Structure 1
Amino acid sequence: MLTYGSYIGGRETFSDEWTYTVRASAMLEDVIGSLRIKRDLDRGRIPAELAPASVVGRCSVGDHHDVEAALAAAAGAVRSWAATPLRYRLRFVTELHRLTREKHDAIVEMLVAEGHPRALARWEVSGILVNTGPETREFLATQLEQHVTAGERQFTLRRVADGVVCLNPPQNATLANAMLGAWALAAGNALVVRAPRSAPLGVLYAMHELVVPALERAGAPPEVLSVVCSDAPQTLRQWLNSPLVDDIMYFGGSEQGVAFGAECVRHGKKPVLELAGNDICVVWRDADLDLAATALAEAFYGSGQICMVPNCAVVHPDVADALLDRLRERVRRIRPGLPEEPGVLLSPVRRTDAFQEVLEEALELGAQLVTGGRRLDVDGTHNEVSGLFLEPTVIRTDGLKRSRVLRAVREETFFPLLPVVVPDRAPDAELIEQIVEFTNTNPYGLRNSLWARDPEVIRAFVGGVRGGGLLKVNDSHIGFLPVLPTHGGTGLTGGPGGEANYPALRTSHLQGVSVAAGIDPATAVFAGPDTPEVL
């Protein structure tokens, strides 16, 4: 059984309170029994040494004193770390990438133990590798610091660390999103991470086994990183009230997240928001329909409980029937199962009642059920009473304006439901304009994608779509790419300051520097060709 304490000021610290993690597959096989074991372990009724093999780890729970100590350690270390030359700070990212490659399989197994289907876990680790890979490092180095010589002056345009950055990862993807803090560290910040009490093991594993040794190899002061498993409301309030905190990276739902961002501003903190997504994938009439159908089926990774999956498809009316046939065939092969089983993509869904409400509303307002719609047990059998999984569900709805009134189309639903919107027929030039407008009026803006061959259509889409932190053409919707950011977006996805999220840039600020030798201030004060005598 893995055991982790808080990491504060370069030391692992332990408390008398623990939270235990039971393997997700054991939970699925015996929910009541597994919850009883976890409860008894958490309350100390069962000694840790008598925990069954289904218990994979335990984490020490910190309190407000630990959070305060973490903030103080970070504030004390940030000055020297921020002043460290960029090339040395980038060594940390290089070492982190190397460690992630070395421990790839172990990280996957950690995610599987927490309940991520193996395919989903491998996708998450691929995101960490791409985000820390050489192409991304080289690109961000140019964004963090540039030098120009002009006459007797040397100019530097650089990003300067904001200071102490606090990160609150989401419960659905704690490990992968906590790792986004690595680039806040590379920018010269000190980082304090809250491990959620409901899912702390992956975060503490990643910090202890990956980030800490990478920082050590890069020669960073150990105090630049702290991680504490703690209660969310108390910790977030403590961060807001602390004069030591500069930025807060927050992951969560849009309504709550936008409100929290406003509160950050009121308290003088910079919010870096990663909120909901309602991504649109457009399929044009000349698209490769087999590849497009495969990309749309990515909507069901993790049962759609991921912000960056395609949440809505818009399909040219000429190819809608053919695409739906291909999509139906692929979706029917997607099944539930234990996370360890090969080929499983679906995760248990908490909001089954909300799923039924959204689906029933869509059908009542004229949508057609293409496939799915039922609750399932882990073995794939139908169970409308207590099934923990939902059948991957596709609906068809006609008309752009008529479809936007459906909750399934206008909101992030966060379960395995993909609406396929088929616009009314119109000349192609008008239709692409309507689709671009439909995409731009989506209040969210994480990723948007297009499948098309016509260069004019591609040009109109790329040139016209303003929302979204990432646009992809003829590619996996969820796949990670070097150089481009893994997260980020506009509107309800990132709040008023939303954009493509490079954490190194969003937790730093731009500064210009000029270093000269022998410049006469009497002449330097004037920028024009004629220098008047003033002194």
Structure 2
Amino acid sequence: MVSFPKKIKSLYIDGKWQSAASGKTDPVYNPATMEKITEVSFGGKQETVKAIQSASKAFLQWSSMTGRERSQILYRAYQLMMEDADRLAEILTTEQGKPLKEAKGEIQSAASFLLWYAEEASRLYGEWIPSSKQEKRLLVIPQPVGVVAAITPWNFPSSMITRKVGPALAAGCTVVLKPAPETPLSAIEIVKMFEKAGLPEGVFNLVTGDAKEIGETLLGDKSVRLITFTGSTEVGKYLMRESSRHVKKLSLELGGHAPILVFEDADLELAAELSLASKFRNAGQTCICANRLFVQESVQEAFSEKLLEKVKALKVGYGKEEDTDIGPLINQQALEKVESHLKDAVSRGAEVLYGGGVIDCGLQGYFYQPTVLANVNPDMRVMYEETFGPIIPVQTFKTEEEAIERANDTDYGLASYMFTENLNRAYRVMEKLEYGIVGVNDVLPATAEAPFGGIKQSGIGKEGGHHGIHEFVEMKYVSMGIKV
């Protein structure tokens, strides 16, 4: 059982753990039990300025190191995470609420990004361009962008950090990290891994506290050259506006409204099982989880029967209990949003096939039943807003063309999924879906070796794969005249 001191110094600046200058702290609660876990430092502008200065000072040394030297530190941090995976998973479940089996999977995923970018650090290649003139030689050199501000969410508090920090450090950038106030403990532990791995002072800084004040300071300081953010589209638009003052680079992974298309030629057992895995993972608090389920009319009855059977077997409860499938929502605000979406759908004619309310698990947390809705229509909020909770609306369609049109009828474009055993259909539909990620008979597409990111109002830029490291470099073109 992991235990915590009453107060934790959670500001890591210039290689030193510190308290806020004001002495203020912020409580961290277990969303399953509502018990206070600990208190962390509540920093603000003063601490953020110091963190940016620290990162700026460390940039020259860190960016001058070879890729192989940076790689060794990233690889050691990966090893330390894997060696301590069980404890890190328990901390994650304690502050975030997801089932322990999901938390263990997230820690392994988080570590995999460190491993991947430890390898990519030595493979950040430039380019030699054949010149059209004999007296010129043309080169393109990748160079780190500079100080990076990483702003991460609470729903995946470990993997969202390493997916940003891994490539940034591998490219030679230095980092100021602002984690979500709900889940600072996972961030603290990751910073400690890098500290043990021998990362030089000032290269990786952590600031917890006043989100508005920290964010405004990061945006207002011209030394911060790139903002990498995962969160809502609304906040992403704000970051874009404010970053324009200094023309900062941006890498944004924003909201989603993922559809699942189940065609009549699908393996219905697989489709039901994976639709369940997509929608109810992390209690539906996942940016790429299913938000809309479209089933071809001819198989609607057979598919719904399989889906409902599986949904009814899910256990809602404390994440630390081994047989728990769904943990709590993160806070009261999240619960109220889910309830408002359900109320709106029912008022507009939706039928609740299963679930539909708060569930008493004998704890004080924000537990909600997995819920399946039928008779839904496009005017319901669940069909055009991201619910971020365990509600899945099911609609039918007649033709392939209709399915594509309805799947694309959204401002979002992060992830989409389809189930079919027809290879021709898989290619036709995949090419027409307006999403940055398409899963064909697969609902777990995120992996360290592949690019992750959306289009339309779901963001700009990619995380993961060799594409991810390029977000953190500038390509310098050199035209060299020589005597021939």
Give the TM-score band, short-chain normalised.
0.7 to 0.9
Q: Counterpart of 1:532?
A: none
- Among 101, 106, 131, the alignment partner of 2:113 is 131
- Is contact 2:318–2:328 with CA below 8 Å preserved after alignment? no
Q: 1:195 to 1:294 in 2, by over 3 A?
A: same
Q: Output the CA distance in 2 between the equivalents of 1:324 and 1:346.
A: 20
How do residues 503-522 of structure 1 correspond to structure 2 at under 5 angstroms? Answer: 503-513=468-478, 519-520=483-484
Paired residue secondary structure (1:471): strand
Q: What is the aligned counterpart of 1:13 among 7, 14, 18?
A: 18
The one of 290, 295, 316 equivalent to 1:336 is: 316
Distance 2:362 2:375 in 1: 31
Match of 1:203 in 2: 187
Look up the match of 1:185. Answer: 169
Q: 2:373 aligns with which of 395, 399, 416?
A: 395
Q: Within the alignment, does 1:356 sit opposite 2:339 as a pair?
A: yes
Q: Which of 170, 174, 178 in structure 2 is aligned with 1:194?
A: 178
CA–CA distance in 1 between the matches of 2:471 and 2:456?
A: 16
Aligned-partner Cα distance in 1 for 2:120–2:299: 39
Classify 1:387/1:110 alpha carbon distance in 2 versus 1 (closer, same or farther; 3 Å): closer
Task: Kindly indicate whether the alpha-carbon contact (under 8 Å) linking 2:413 and 2:435 is maintained by their aligned counterparts in 1.
Answer: yes
| TM-score of the superposed pair, with normalisation by structure 1 | 0.80
Letter in 2 for 1:109: E
Q: What's the RMSD between the two structures over aligned residues?
A: 2.8
Greater alpha carbon shift after TM alignment, 57-66 vs 454-463: 57-66
The one-character-per-residue Cα deviations of 1:35-71 (angstroms, maximum 9, x if unpaired) are: xxx4xxxxxxxxxxxxxxxx4x443333422211111
Map 1:60-99 → 2, pairs under 5 A: 60-99=41-80
Structure 1 position 72, deviation (Å): 0.6
* Structure 1: gaps (5+ residues): 39-54, 381-385, 426-430, 521-535
SS in 1 for 2:298: coil
Amino acid corresponding to residue 392 of structure 2 in structure 1: L
> TM-score, normalised to structure 2's length?
0.87
Residues 245, 405 of structure 1: alpha-carbon distance in 2 compared, 3 angstrom cutoff:
same
Q: Is the 8 A contact 2:287 2:388 kept in 1?
A: yes
After superposition, the C-alpha distances for 1:4-32 in whole angstroms (9 at most, x for unaligned) are 4421112222343334445555xx2xx4x
Write the letter of the residue equivalent to 2:190.
A
| AA aligned opposite 1:187 | A
1:376, distance to aligned residue in structure 2 (A): 0.5
**What residue is the counterpart of 1:113 in the other structure?**
94
Q: How far is 1:156 from its partner?
A: 5.4
CA–CA distance in 2 between the matches of 1:412 and 1:73? 38
SS at match of 2:322: coil
Counting aligned pairs with the same residue, the percent is 25
Partner Cα distance (1:277, 1:256) in 2: 14
- What is the distance in 1 between the residues matched to 2:130 and 2:456? 40
Does structure 2 conserve the Cα–Cα contact (< 8 Å) formed by 1:19 and 1:59?
A: yes
Following the alignment from structure 1 to structure 2, what is the Cα–Cα distance between the partners of residues 336 and 454?
Answer: 36
**What is the rounded CA distance, in whole Å, between the counterparts of 2:304 and 2:483 in structure 1?**
70
**Structural mapping, 1:37-56, within 5 Å:** 38=36, 55=37
2:430 pairs with 1:445: no
Bigger radius of gyration, 1 or 2? 1
**1:223 matched to 2:193:** no
Q: Does 1:484 align with 2:468?
A: no
The residue type paired with residue 339 of structure 2 is Q
- 1:326 Cα deviation (Å)? 0.8
Return 5+ residue gaps in structure 2 as ranges. Answer: none
CA distance in 2, matches of 1:237, 1:503: 25
Q: Residue 196 of structure 2: which of 185, 201, 213 is its match?
A: 213
- Conserved? CA contact 1:93–1:183, under 8 Å: no
Q: Are 2:289 and 1:324 equivalent residues in the alignment?
A: no
Q: Does 1:472 align with 2:439?
A: yes
Residue 302 (structure 1) aligned with residue 302 (structure 2): no
Q: CA deviation at 1:249?
A: 1.9
CA distance in 2, matches of 1:420, 1:481: 28
**10-19 or 302-311, which deviates more:** 10-19
Residue 356 of structure 2 corresponds to residue 373 of structure 1: yes
Q: 2:425 aligns with which of 450, 457, 475?
A: 457
Matched, 1:253 2:232: yes
Indicate the residue corresponding to 1:531 in structure 2: none
For residue 413 of structure 1, report the CA deviation from its aligned partner.
0.8
SS in structure 2 at match of 1:355: helix
Do the aligned partners of 1:396 and 1:422 also contact (CA within 8 Å) in 2? no
Matched residue SS, 1:160: strand
8 Å Cα contact 1:75/1:164 also seen in 2: yes
8 A contact 2:70–2:121 mirrored in 1: no
* Range with greater deviation from structure 2 (311-320 or 151-160): 151-160
Q: In structure 2, how many angstroms separate the alpha carbons of the residues matched to 1:157 and 1:436?
A: 41
- The alignment of Structure 1 onto Structure 2 pairs a total of residues equal to 466
Report the residue type matching 1:70 in the other structure. Answer: A
